Every structure is written in structure tokens, then in C-alpha cells.
Structure 1
């Protein structure tokens, strides 16, 4: 079998993250606050947490003490060493996202919790469309510029494939306004989220392409305020390491009461 070519260039990703600034961490901080809120409603105390992140300076304050793990292809975990693993804002760059979740599951003790958050869904769909159209118009071709974003259902399916129980996936769509497309691209650089795709164009993008993309953005994605809008979808994944104490679905046909009786309604047979 032919090996799947990598999606992400890890060297470029590390370089981009190293140039990130505190100003660009607002989405990381939003994700952190959301994870903190979700953990507060879990009826369980965590004594051995771990956090997988490319931005330890942001996520170190989530839980104390917590082991901070770099989000490389191989995660620095000891099997069954943790009762909580948070995978923080890195799955969208992973060359093997299912492998990342499997490694997290193996690091969990029985009935341990995985909470993952990453970009997905419609994230940056406006910028993707404008850059693609501008490049096609001016050069006659298109190069990869924005990482493909998995949809909520697809990411939720990864939890089951990774062997996690009681899987739940949900999203938090965010719409951020900018003065223009140039301001958005500067913010992406400050976030450390610029193009790190393995198949990216290896020379600077022509200024004419960027200018045309900015024109298209203003023409199609301007808010009533006169500023452009950018979409960021935060996808949250929750799953538990399997344990005998967890609730199990009932066997089909094992119900002790008819649904029609519980609803005080008449049951009508369906036509053949």
C-alpha cells in the first residue's frame, strides 16, 4: 500500500507558532474558557490531568498540576497515567487525527475523560473561497492555502473509531469582524495559524492575487458595520475511556413498558 502523504509540514507549523504573539491568542483563550466551563459541570474530580497543546503558555493555567504534552505526531504519554486528557487546538493540523485520539485514549485510566477542541466546520470558509477564486482568475490554478476542516459529524465519528465510550461532539461558531482581509491575515499570523500545509506554494504569493482576494472579500463578506466577517468554528469532542461502571444501552426488545402507554396516546400500526 502507498503511504498517505502528510497534510501538514511540522517544521513550518513550529516556525509559525514561534512567531505567534499574545495579541493573537484570543481564540485559544476562548477555547480554554469553554473547556473550563465544560469541566466544571462534570461530576468528577481529576487528580492526574494532561494537556496536549502547541501553546503551553496559554493552556498551562487550565488545571494545576497538569502534564503539558507537545502535540507532535507521537505524544509523550505513559499508558493509563491520566484521568483527564485535554487535546487543545491542534487536531486540525494533525496528519493522523485518529492516531492522536487513540494515543489519548491509551493514556487514560478506565473511566478517564478526553476533552478535545479544534477548528473545524466552516472555519475561514470566506477566506478560502476568495483566495481560491483570486488565484484561479490570475494564475489559472489553485494551491492549498487553508487546512481542510472536518465537519462536526466526521470528527464525532473519530471518537468511536478511537475506542472511546459515550462520545459527544458539538460546536461553537464564532464570527469575528475585521477592517479588511489584510487585518484578518495579520491576525492569522499572530495566531500561528498561517499556511503550514505540506503541499503549499513554496514561493511568496503574488501581490496581485492577494489584492484580488481582498477585493472579493470586501464585495461578498462585508457586515452591516462595514467591516468584513470571518468564521471560526470551535469543535468540542468528549469521550470516556471504557469502564464497566459506565451506563450501557439496553438490549433491543428489553423495554418493560410501551411508549404509547407512557405518552398516554393511541398506537397506530404503520401500513405495510
Structure 2
């Protein structure tokens, strides 16, 4: 089955390549801090680990679980399509950071990462979640209606948390977990937020994007709409940021498994009491 292409990954690569060398990538710093906390609770040793994402320089070279430190092999996904050609296999840990939200074939992408795991290896994925940048999306819809007379998708759709568990199961992972870290971030202006979105490579990455460039008039209208939607009294603006975390384990015989239907040894009636006739 041919997977429809939604994102222009070549454009994402160009956006990232044009970023200024000196920048404050707040979102990436936030994700790396979350990753550090999650790994710290992991009670196992990691021998072989891989981390991948668009910006290889932003990827961690080292990690630490509750049982000690380990080294990451780092891989850039910049300019790659959905076929990753991962280096080797048998990883105890594979981590994907801020790439999944611009992947066309998400199930296929996750399957590739799963196949790179050793039995009982862990996959961790961080991506922008479904409610991220809703204020910016609504501001541009308002501005386009005012300036162009129609609405255009200028902010990419993100993955809702409710879809996360199903995606992990389709990839063949056991014990799937999907959760969201929600942050409300304040910026000095809507333009400051737009610059950060561009620094993430998320500036209009859709293949089916408007043919018209974002004119100064449109940007000004979007900024005005944004300030009306999420402006604070001190002149700053709020932005919703969801970090979607997905985790699952490569199947292994040692893992917990659900009981087969009819295999319970204690009747629920004995535990809860007989409620019939009440």
C-alpha cells in the first residue's frame, strides 16, 4: 500500500540547515531534560544504545539509568526519507527525538526502530503532541481569512496521544505506554515564537502548502490575532506545547503477559459479592 506523503522532509532539512548558529532551542532543551529524568528511573544497564533526530549536534552523547552510565550512538535523520537504514541492530535502547511529527509513514517508521532492538530492548520516542501550537494555528487561520479570503494549513498537524498506544502495538512492541507532558511557554512576541518554530524545522513543512508566501501583511495580521487569542497583560504571549512520549519493549519471554480468557482461579463473584437481586 502506498503511504500518502503529507510532509516535505526535504523542506524540513532546508529549514534546519538555515538556522543561525547561535540560538536558544528551548524545546529541544525541554525534551532532553525529560529524557534524562525518564532514563534515571530505568533499573537496568544499557550496553548498546542509539539516539536519532534531525539535529545530530543536539542529540546526547551519553545517558544514565539508575544502574549506571552508557554511551549513545548518534544518527541524524536530516534529509532522510522514512526509510532510515539504521546502523546495526540488537540495541538495548533506541531513542527518537523530535522527528516523528514530520514522518509520513509513522507505523513503518516505528517498525524500523522496533526491528533494531534486542529482545526486551526499549524504544523511547518524543514528538510534538496534538495540541501543540493551537494558538498559532488559530491565529493563522484568522489572518488568512482576513487577508486572503480563505483558510490554509500553515501549521502542521501533530500526533494525538490517543493514537500513541495503537501505533506502538502496530509496530509489534509489548507493554506500550503513551503519555503527554504539557507545557505553557511564554514568548516576548508572536514573532519570537515563529522564529523558534522555524528553528525546529516545523515552519510550514506540508507538501500541500499554500502557493502564496506569507506576506508581511499576513504575518502582521497573524501577530495581531495571536495577541488577541493568547496575549498577557505584560505584552508577552502564551503557547501550548505538548511533548508526546511513546515507549514500548521488544517482545521477550520474561515480560508480563495478560491472562488468557477463562484462566482466572478466583471468581469475581467471590471477590465482589453476589450483586444479583439487589
Flag the 1:6–1:270 CA change in 2: closer, same or farther, 3 A. farther
| 2:85 equivalent in structure 1 | 76
Q: Does 1:180 align with 2:189?
A: yes
Q: What SS class does the counterpart of residue 124 from structure 2 fall into?
A: strand
TM-score (norm 2): 0.88
- Find the partner of 2:148 among 131, 134, 139: 139
Shift of 1:50: 0.5
Q: Contact 1:19–1:192 (CA<8 Å) still a contact in 2?
A: no
Q: Does 1:66 align with 2:65?
A: no
Q: Contact 2:3–2:105 (CA<8 Å) still a contact in 1?
A: no
Shift of 1:170: 0.3
Flag the 1:82–1:116 CA change in 2: closer, same or farther, 3 A. same
Question: Counterparts of 1:98 and 1:245 in 2: how far apart (Å)?
Answer: 25
| 1:20 equivalent in structure 2 | 19
How do residues 1-272 of structure 1 correspond to structure 2 at under 5 angstroms? 3-21=2-20, 22-63=22-63, 64-71=70-77, 72=80, 73-78=82-87, 80-259=89-268, 266-269=273-276
Question: Counterparts of 2:233 and 2:257 in 1: how far apart (Å)?
Answer: 50
Question: Counterparts of 2:239 and 2:163 in 1: how far apart (Å)?
Answer: 23
Flag the 1:25–1:62 CA change in 2: closer, same or farther, 3 A. farther
Q: Contact 1:24–1:190 (CA<8 Å) still a contact in 2?
A: no
Which whole-Å deviations, capped at 9, do the CAs of 1:199-222 have from their partners, x for residues lacking one? 123442122222111111111212
Question: Counterparts of 1:182 and 1:79 in 2: how far apart (Å)?
Answer: 42
Question: Counterparts of 2:17 and 2:277 in 1: how far apart (Å)?
Answer: 63
Flag the 1:143–1:249 CA change in 2: closer, same or farther, 3 A. same
Flag the 1:203–1:269 CA change in 2: closer, same or farther, 3 A. same
Q: What SS class does the counterpart of residue 210 from structure 1 fall into?
A: helix
Which whole-Å deviations, capped at 9, do the CAs of 1:8-52 have from their partners, x for residues lacking one? 112211111112345342211211121121122122111110011
Q: What SS class does the counterpart of residue 173 from structure 1 fall into?
A: strand
Q: What is the RMSD computed on CA atoms of the aligned residues?
A: 2.1
Question: Counterparts of 2:76 and 2:106 in 1: how far apart (Å)?
Answer: 14
Question: Counterparts of 1:270 and 1:215 in 2: how far apart (Å)?
Answer: 64
Gaps of 5+ in 1: none
Question: Counterparts of 1:234 and 1:89 in 2: how far apart (Å)?
Answer: 9
Q: Contact 1:70–1:76 (CA<8 Å) still a contact in 2?
A: no
Question: Counterparts of 2:196 and 2:96 in 1: how far apart (Å)?
Answer: 23
Shift of 1:57: 1.1
Shift of 1:187: 2.2
